Amino acid sequence: MTKRSRTVALFILGAAAFALAGCREEEIDAQAFPDAQSCKNAANATGAFSSSDCDTAFAAAQQLQAESAPRYDSLEVCEEQHGVGECGDEAQVTGASGGGSIFMPLLAGYLIGNMLARGAAPAAVQPLYKTPDGKFTNATGSSTYQTNSGQGKLAPSHFAKAPSTIGKAPMTKATVASRGGFGGAATGRTSTGG
C-alpha cells in the first residue's frame, strides 16, 4: 500500500467515524432526587455540586410543575393515572388560591441534567410524577423511569420543557381514555432504568 493510499484510507475511516458520531444525540450527566433534602445530602457527600444548586433546581422543578403538570377534572381520574394518594387539587399542589375543581399529580421527585459536571450549572430540570405502576414520568408522560433516585446519562430530549397546561381544559376520563392514558398521545416514548 502506498503512502498516498494509506492517507486516503485513514481519511475515509476518520470521516466515517465522525459521521457515525454525528448521528447519535449527545448525552448529558443526569441525576434524579426524590426531594430537595436528598439532593443536599448528595451534595454534602460528593461535593460535586452545592446545596444552593439543589435549592435552585428544586424551585425550578416546582415552577415547571405549576406551569406544565397534567391537569384533570377529578381526583379519581388523576389517581387512575398517577396512583392513589399521589394527587391534590390545584391550590394544594401549586400554592395558588382557589382550586378544588382541578387536580394535579404531586411532585414525586426531580431530574437534574448536567449538574454532575463540577462547576457546571444545572442545564435543565424536569419534575417527576408517579405512574399507577409505581414508576416515574415527566410532565408529558414521554419518558418513564424505574426510580426517582440515581444517576446516569440521558439525552437532552429528556429535559424538553412540556407545554403549559395553565388555563387549558383539564383532562377528563374520556380525554384520557381517547389518548390511551396519560402521555398516550406522546410520540417517542422512552423508558430508562435510572
Q: What is the dihedral of CA 142, 137, 139, 190, to 10 degrees?
A: -10
Return the percentage of the chain with pLDDT > 70, whole number.
75
Q: How confident is the model at residue 97 (pLDDT cuts 50, 70, 90)?
A: confident
**Region 64-76: what's the mean pLDDT?**
95
Give the pLDDT score at 40: 95
Please name the residue that has the C-alpha cell 458520531.
21
Q: How far apart are CA 54 and CA 77, in angstroms?
A: 32
Beta bridge partners of 104: 88
Q: How far apart are CA 175 and CA 131, in angstroms?
A: 17
Q: Which of 9-23, 42-56, 57-71, 162-176 has the lowest mean pLDDT?
A: 9-23
pLDDT at 3 > cutoff 70? no
**Region 97-105: what's the mean pLDDT?**
82
Q: How confident is the model at residue 92 (pLDDT cuts 50, 70, 90)?
A: confident
Q: How far apart are CA 155 and CA 158, in angstroms?
A: 6
Nearest Cα residue to 114 out of 48, 173, 170, 30? 30
Give the pLDDT score at 182: 72
Contact 110, 128 (CB under 8 A): yes
Q: Which of 1-5, 14-18, 30-34, 150-154 has the lowest mean pLDDT?
A: 14-18
Q: How far apart are CA 168 and CA 173, in angstroms?
A: 16
**Grid coordinates belonging to 14:** 476518520
Helix intervals (H) in 24-170: 36-46, 51-68, 75-82, 90-94
pLDDT in tens, 117-145: 555 555 789 999 999 999 999 988 888 99
Contact 95, 107 (CB under 8 A): no
